[in-house]
Amino acid sequence: MTNLIDIQSQIEKLQKQANEIKAKEFQSTVQEIQAKMQAFGITVKDLQGGKTAKAGKGGRGKAKIIAPKIPRVSKKSTNPVAAKYRGPNGESWSGRGLTPRWLTTLIAQGQSKEAFAVNA
């Protein structure tokens, strides 16, 4: 069974090998990328600017930047909700959200919530 020191030395050797391979393949990879950029008419500016679409036929012409799609956010309903409960001083509550203080106070005094219900 190998111990931690053996594993760390193997990691170092493999890291050196990876760096050597990267150094050998670096120049050929750069040349491949440059050839493809020339074939498709891609510039460094195109790479920095995000998505682009070529104008005209065959991909020739000026690049047109396409804005990223932004998901639409649904709007909340702005229609008011009818009151389901009405207090003795004209307060109203739709029954949505937290119970209002006026109704909480009345319930604490022993009255029922149904006593303040608006009959539709």
User: Quick one: pLDDT at residue 61?
Assistant: 59
User: Quick one: pLDDT at residue 60?
Assistant: 58
Question: Is 0.75 surpassed by the pTM of this model?
Answer: no
Q: Can you tell me the mean pLDDT for 89-94?
A: 91
Task: Using alpha carbons, list the distances in angstroms from residue 1 to 5, 6, 8, 9, 11.
Answer: 12, 10, 14, 15, 16
Query: pLDDT confidence of 100, banded at 50, 70, 90?
Result: very high
User: Quick one: pLDDT at residue 50?
Assistant: 58
What tens digit of pLDDT does each residue of 13-50 get? 999 999 999 988 988 898 999 999 999 888 888 888 75
